[in-house]
A and B are shown apart, each in its own frame.
Chain A
Amino acid sequence: MPFLPVILATDALLWLLVAAVGLYAWYCVRRPHLALPWQRVFRTRAAAVCTVVLACYAAIGLADSLHYRPALPGPGASYSPEVHSLLDLGLARLREGRERTYSAPLATRSYAREQVEVDGRMVRAYPRLLHGGAHLEDEAERPRDIAARVGLGLFCASLAAMALGLIVKRLERRRPGYPWRTAGATLLVILAVALPVAFLAGGYHVLGTDKVGQDVLYQALKSVRVSLVIGTLTTLVLLPLGIALGVMAGYFRGWVDDVIQYVYTTLNSIPGVLLIAAAVLMMQVVIDRHPEWFATAAQRADVRLLVLCAILGLTSWTGLARLLRGEALKLSQLEYIQAAHAFGVSHARVLGRHILPNVTHIVVITVVMDFSGLVLAEAVLSYVGVGVDPSTTSFGTMINAARLEMGREPVVWWSLAAAFVFMFALVLAANLFADAVRDGFDPRVRMGPAA
């Protein structure tokens, strides 16, 4: 086999999540009362735009979640300890086209002077890049070459526009009432940016390179997965805890309530960063003491990421638990639940049939609302030094490195700018989507702005 599939822990969980979301969607579609709030959500234009943007991010993240180890050339079936993903395969040119150090976006020469040998003498000059614009015989060709690539990209985008137009028309006929046009337009805008960039990336470093010459665009794309993992898997950890403890506290009351309240007040009263920092440091020590658990560095980094999610989840389930406790407290007073008790229905059944379904909207809203906050938290934690593994590229590590670059003159702005744009688009889309979901699910809040 030319490769050995590797399933990292976060890969498995991410795909599990995808499956779960699919299942939930399928379940909802068949039950109109469940589908209704989602229909309300997707009928807004903002949600349509955000869905398309988020889908693009998800596609990048998921492509980056199919890992394998390439086979090594030579005898015997041995595989490189380096783990690649499908995304790496697609971006092989960006990953391997490494310069020595900084270069500006679309540059053909290095950004820093180096000792170069010219005619047998050592000179300090700006050397040509090894990959960026290396296909150009004459550097004067550069503007024309760039224009040609952008033009080609736009041409492809316009071809795509026609195809998109047809699809949108059909969808509008088949399923009216949804803003298909907006969604199509959004996709078109994304394509109009992505395709020229893709053509440019074939010959240049579109967003420049960092201190050791790695392509910044590649780093930004790789960071997407980390954000998605932190934003989604954390909630996955937080949900069972928050739901189980919150609902139990509200439903059983008495000493159960006291114990659970004690636990979450205690956790809550520790300043968040301190608790996370201490937990992350501890986890790091455990990982460091057992190097034999991990076959590759990628696995170690991955476990670290997963544990970071777990820690974030463990320290932030209290908010959800408190909300659910209140809701369960209210529900358990209702007549039909009292009646169920009178009929001798078991607690498990009451919880499963009556309480849980009635708190789902709170859970959905929490999940969606938490996403953006977690993405932002990752950056801050990486700054404090308790974020992702240093070998992992994430928005946090990019910003952290860029901090020093701002002190350079002329300033190296592209790493920071790339992290900013990619992160901003993701968080903005997530926030707007969360708003739409909340409006769709929570009738009370929806009343407000309409008044």
Chain B
Amino acid sequence: MRIVLILLGFLSFGPAGCSLQWNDPYPAAERGANILYTAFIQRPKHLDPVQSYTSDEALFTRQILEPPLQYHYLKRPYELMPMTAVSLPQVTEIDGGRFTEYEIRIRPGILYQPHPAFVEANQALSEARIARLGNPYELPLGTRELVAADYVYQIKRLAHPRLHSPIFGLMAESIVGLKALATRLNTRLTAADAEGGEWLDLRDFELEGVQVVDRHTYRIRVNGRYPQFKYWLAMPFFAPIPWEAERFFHQPGMARRNFTLDWWPVGTGPYMLTQHDPNTRMVLERNPNYRGTPYPAEGEPQDAAAGLLRDAGKPMPFIDRIVFSREKESVPYWNKFLQGYYDSAAISSDSFDQAVRVAVDGAAEPSPEMLEKGIALSTSVAATIYYFGFNMKDPVVGGDSERARKLRQAISIAVDMEEYLAIFQNGRGVVAHSPIPPGLFGRREGEAGINPVTHAWRNGRAERRSLEEAKRLLAQAGYPDGRDARTGAPLVLYFDTTSRGPGDKARLDWWRQQFAKLSIQLEVRDTDWNRFQEKIRKGSQQVYGLGWSADYPDPENFLFLLHGPQARADGAGANSSNYANPEFDRLFERMKDLPDSPERQRLIDRMVDIARRDAPWIFGFHPTDYTLHHAWLSNVKPNEMAGNTFQYLRLDPAQRVAAREAWNRPVLLWPGLLLAGLAVSAVPALRSYRRRERMAAKRPA
């Protein structure tokens, strides 16, 4: 009975607010406000643009920080356009291609978000004041104009030895003088440590290759021709950082309270981070000083019909606040989306059938249940590849011998990626025939784009070659029926992988089945991520799987994964298969500096052909992202490259309030019956108690 009372007490106490919506995870006061609700899965590790590299972090940094360039929201293939710059950078070659110089002019009059760093008084706070501070925005706020020097300042920060920029190694090769700056900073820092680690003003240090021309113009000089450099200028690594902010956060006592640039980024973008609680919620608030860039007026042909141009020319952003809630598990994430508490959601493989109906022609649309709720679907093939590689240094599957090549080819045929996609991805993905994903230059579609080793073109589509062909290749490789022809020993291969989640056992079983089709025994060596990395680093893996997401939409960013000099086992390159083919490498060197042209296409075709024949990878698949969003959210178009997409979105809060109310009526019948049942079950106890009382009365003790 007491349980019943407590339960009732809880239920009557719990729901605050007038309507019957007990499962609303947000404060009732927020209902009806122009707030976008979404989730983040991994807590961001770094929000400082000098370090931030992962997509979990880009979710926040891209809304706040503005590099000079950006990708067009609607146009495909991806197109670079200016963000804070007036136009695309002017590129001049110097010394006949020994250097290239990029001159960038930024718009005058752009203001930073309100921030305490711009108020002089805040630069000398007492430690006691800092200790009382809950949030830096509690201090008086100021702003100032964005200048070219801020961009230069951030580029210098890339060389800062304390900040560990992940791209420092790469940029030190390209940006003139960056390496020298790092050395100078390093000696200076060691000296500074002896004095007590004061703030290092990078404005006092010269960076040879990066110069401020005037208040709104700066130049970057890079070594050689490096046409991909322009893509880097669209990444937050090249966003502006005001020196005031760095100095502000360097005051003693700040770091201990997590008041750092890494935790509270400062920028000129449409939003500013005002609440940072990586365990529960992060909040982006509209930046009141934002200049209000207009919504794009042109896009792909079908965009107008899809209503994506309705807001053309209107100043962005449209949404006042974005609330990110931490959602570690996929099931609650999905269920909250269905209840209307998230405005959009990616679909996990397990909820796919419920959410999406794939039409006869393979086009996907939301299932009837989803349509009834007004949920819309958007898909996009990611500039990503998941591949399964052979270690070319391995004595069995690796090497340039015909025997090993045939073995690899046989396995490439037998591993049925189409089935993998069907089972584990619900068909959300495209089987890869080369390293280059769709939408990038160098990619070929249709018959010209198939991998002739594993597929054949029949009836107007790519069909995987038969198992018989694979078995024939295997026999030619010297393993008829999966037994070594010389010794009769069964062929045993090792699949190195790292698994965590509950769905992984099924995946590993599937892999065993695929090799069993060729009578090859597959042993799965499953280790933790560190051990897996170590194996790859040492080149002791045999068969393994990895993924790569593009940094920028250029085929160079994929083909370099097979570039011999970048072999992982010999250095720290990204070529985890340790594939090295002299001709491929020669072609790569030529291809990477060429602008997109028929010449470049020809080189890429050659390279892809070589890679297909050598089969260092089982070309896995390019995943398709399926994202659902509710009817009250508009202007949604997935964009793999641009991260600053929140400003384009529009929201109808009234519609959302109505839908949430309709979908979340608490079901009271069953819990009521349950409570009643509990109460009834107490009756025999009471009766028996009465009886005993009477008996005790009758029978003297």
A–B: direct contact at CB < 8 Å: yes
B362 interfacial contact with A, CB 8 Å: yes
Pick 17 A–B contacts, CB within 8 A, sort by A.
A72-B490, A78-B483, A114-B422, A115-B358, A115-B427, A211-B423, A212-B509, A285-B531, A291-B494, A291-B525, A385-B500, A389-B526, A390-B504, A391-B526, A400-B502, A408-B350, A409-B353
Within 8 A of B (CB), among A397-451: 397, 400-410
Q: Are A211 and B503 also in contact (CB < 8 A) when A407-B351, A408-B350 are?
A: yes
Digit string of B351-364 for contact with A (CB within 8 Å is 1, else 0)?
10110011110100
Q: Mark A276-302, 1 if CB is under 8 A from B, else 0.
A: 000001001100110100001100000
Q: With A212-B509, A284-B527, A291-B525 known to touch, is A401 a contact of B423 (CB < 8 Å)?
A: no
Find the A residue at minimum CB distance from B494: A291
Instruction: Please tell me if the beta carbons of A297 and B524 are within 8 angstroms of each other in the complex.
Output: yes
A288 touches B490 (CB 8 A): no
Cβ-based interface call for B40 (8 A): no
Is B681 located at the chain interface by the 8 A CB criterion? no
Q: Is A81 an interface residue (CB 8 A)?
A: yes
- The answer to whether B506 and A401 have CB atoms under 8 Å apart is yes
CB pair A401 B521 closer than 8 Å:
no
Q: Is the CB of B505 within 8 A of A390?
A: yes
Among listed B62-70, B328-336, B597-605, interface-contacting one: B328-336
Q: Which of B336-394 contact A (CB under 8 A)?
A: 348, 350-351, 353-354, 357-360, 362
A169 within 8 A of partner (CB): no
Q: Which residue of B lies closest to A124 (CB)?
A: B358
In the bound assembly, the distance between CA atoms of A240 and B506 in angstroms comes to 38
CB of B675 within 8 Å of the partner chain: no
B420 CB to nearest A CB, Å: 11
Contact with B along A51-84 (1 / 0, CB 8 A): 0000000000000000000001011101011100
Interface of chain A, main secondary structure: loop
A75 to B509: give the CA distance in the assembly, Å. Answer: 28
* Residues 264-286 (chain B) with a chain A CB within 8 angstroms: none
Q: Which of B479-523 contact A (CB under 8 A)?
A: 481, 483, 488-490, 492, 494, 499-500, 502-510, 513, 521, 523
| Contact A407-B521, Cβ < 8 Å, known A76-B488, A210-B506 | no
Across the interface, A397 reaches (CB within 8 A) one of B505, B513, B528, namely B505
- Shortest Cβ distance from A282 into chain B, in angstroms? 11
Task: Check if A347 is an interface residue, CB within 8 A of chain B.
Answer: no
Cα(A403)–Cα(B329), bound, Å: 10
Query: Are A407 and B335 in contact (CB-based, < 8 A)?
Result: yes
The closest CB in chain B to the CB of A389 belongs to B526
Chain B residues numbered 511-565 whose CB sits less than 8 Å from any CB in chain A: 513, 521, 523-528, 531
Chain A 73-123 interface residues, beta-carbon cutoff 8 Å to B: 74-76, 78, 80-82, 98, 100-101, 112-115, 121-123
Q: Which residues of B contact A385 (CB under 8 A)?
A: 500
Chain A residues, Cβ within 8 Å of B353: 112-113, 408-409
Give me 13 other A-B pairs in contact (C-beta within 8 A), A211-B503, A284-B528, A288-B525 excluded. A72-B483, A76-B488, A78-B483, A115-B422, A122-B362, A124-B359, A212-B506, A288-B527, A391-B508, A401-B505, A404-B350, A407-B351, A408-B350
Please indicate the chain A residues that have their CB under 8 angstroms from the CB of B422 in the complex. Answer: 100, 114-115
| Number of B positions contacting A (CB below 8 A) | 45
In the complex, the chain A residue whose C-beta lies closest to that of B482 is A72
Give chain B residues whose Cβ lies under 8 Å from the Cβ of A408: 350-351, 353-354
CB-nearest residue of chain B to A410: B354
B428 to chain A, nearest CB (A): 12
A320-357 interface code vs B (CB 8 A; 1 in, 0 out): 00000000000000000000000000000000000000
Q: In the complex, what's the smallest C-beta–C-beta distance from A233 to chain B, in angstroms? A: 23
- The answer to whether B360 touches A124 (Cβ under 8 A) is yes
**Chain A neighbourhood of B360, CB < 8 A:** 121-124
Residues 399-425 of B at the A interface (beta carbon under 8 Å): 419, 422-423
Q: Give complex CA distance A76, B489 in Å.
A: 9
Known contacts A112-B353, A390-B526; A404/B505 CB under 8 A: no
Q: Which 9 A-B pairs have the closest CB atoms?
A: A407-B331, A76-B488, A400-B502, A409-B354, A212-B506, A211-B506, A401-B502, A288-B527, A81-B521
Chain B residue at smallest Cβ distance from A114: B422
| A235 interface contact, C-beta 8 A | no
With known contacts A74-B488, A113-B353, A122-B362, A297–B502 Cβ distance under 8 A: no
For B481, list chain A residues within 8 Å (CB). Answer: 74
Contacts of A121 in B (CB 8 A): 360
B335 touches A124 (CB 8 A): no
Known A74-B483, A404-B502: A281·B528 in contact at CB below 8 Å: yes
Interface residues of A in 117-150 (CB under 8 A from B): 121-124
Chain A: CB-nearest residue to B523: A297
Task: Report yes or no: A81 in contact with B492, Cβ–Cβ below 8 A.
Answer: yes
| Complex interface: chain B residues within 8 A of A410 (CB) | 354
Instruction: Report B-chain residues with C-beta under 8 Å of the C-beta of A214.
Output: 509
Chain A residues with CB under 8 Å of B494's CB are 291
CA–CA, A78 and B503, complex, Å: 34
State the CA gap A398–B331 with chains docked (Å).
17
**Contacts from B to A (Cβ < 8 Å):** 330-331, 334-335, 348, 350-351, 353-354, 357-360, 362, 419, 422-423, 427, 481, 483, 488-490, 492, 494, 499-500, 502-510, 513, 521, 523-528, 531
Residues of B within 8 A of A122 (CB): 360, 362
Q: Which residues of B contact A115 (CB under 8 A)?
A: 358, 362, 422, 427
Smallest CB-CB separation from A289: which chain B residue? B531
Nearest Cβ on chain B to A204's Cβ, whole angstroms: 21
Question: Which residue numbers of A lie inside 8 Å of B, CB to CB?
Answer: 72, 74-76, 78, 80-82, 98, 100-101, 112-115, 121-124, 210-212, 214, 281, 284-285, 288-289, 291, 296-297, 385, 389-391, 393, 397, 400-410
- Which residue of B490, B499, B502, B505 is within 8 Å of A80 (Cβ)? B490
Cβ B483 vs Cβ A397 within 8 A = no
Residues of A within 8 A of B524 (CB): 297, 391
CA A408 to CA B334, docked complex, whole Å: 10
Q: Which residues of B contact A405 (CB under 8 A)?
A: 350
Residue of B nearest to A73 (CB): B481
A403 touching B488 by the CB < 8 A rule? no
Q: Determine the distance from Cα of A214 to Cα of B506 in the docked complex, in whole angstroms.
A: 9
- Which residues from B are CB-within-8-Å of A101? 423
Q: B506 contacts A100, CB within 8 Å?
A: no
Closest approach, in angstroms, between the C-beta of A70 and any C-beta of chain B?
12
The reply to whether B508 and A403 form a contact with Cβ atoms under 8 Å apart is: no
Closest to A403 in B: B502
Bound Cα distance from A87 to B331, whole angstroms: 35
* Least CB separation from A121: chain B residue: B360
Output the least CB separation between B180 and chain A (Å).
Answer: 41
* Chain B: minimal CB distance from A26 (Å): 42
Known contacts A288-B527, A409-B351; is A403 also within 8 Å of B331 by CB? yes
Are A401 and B489 in contact (CB-based, < 8 A)? no
Chain A residues near B527 (CB, 8 Å)?
284, 288
Inter-chain CA distance A450–B527, complex, in Å, is: 55
Contact A391 B505 (CB under 8 A): yes
CA distance A326 to B348 in the complex (A): 55
Q: A396: nearest residue on chain B (CB-CB)?
A: B502
- Kindly provide the distance from the CB of B612 to the nearest chain A CB, expressed in whole angstroms: 25
A72 to B491, CA, bound (A): 12
Q: A118 — nearest CB in chain B belongs to which residue?
A: B360
Give the distance in Å from the alpha carbon of A389 to the alpha carbon of B234 in the complex. 44
> B499 touching A390 by the CB < 8 A rule?
yes
Which residues on A sit within 8 Å (CB–CB) of B359? 124
Contact B488 A124 (CB under 8 A): no
Contact of B508 (CB < 8 Å), options: A74, A112, A210, A390: A390
Whether the Cβ atoms of B503 and A401 lie closer than 8 Å is: yes
Chain B residues with CB under 8 Å of A401's CB are 502-503, 505-506
- Nearest-Cβ distance from residue A205 to partner chain B, whole angstroms: 16
- Among A78, A100, A112, A391, the residue within 8 A (CB) of B490 is A78
- Chain B nearest CB from A276 CB (Å) reads 16
Instruction: Give the shortest distance, in Å, between A75 (CB) and chain B (any CB).
Output: 6
Interface centre among B419, B505, B523, B526 (most CB of A within 10 A): B505
The answer for the CA separation of A367 and B528 in the assembled complex, in Å, is 33
Least Cβ distance of A126 to chain B in Å? 10
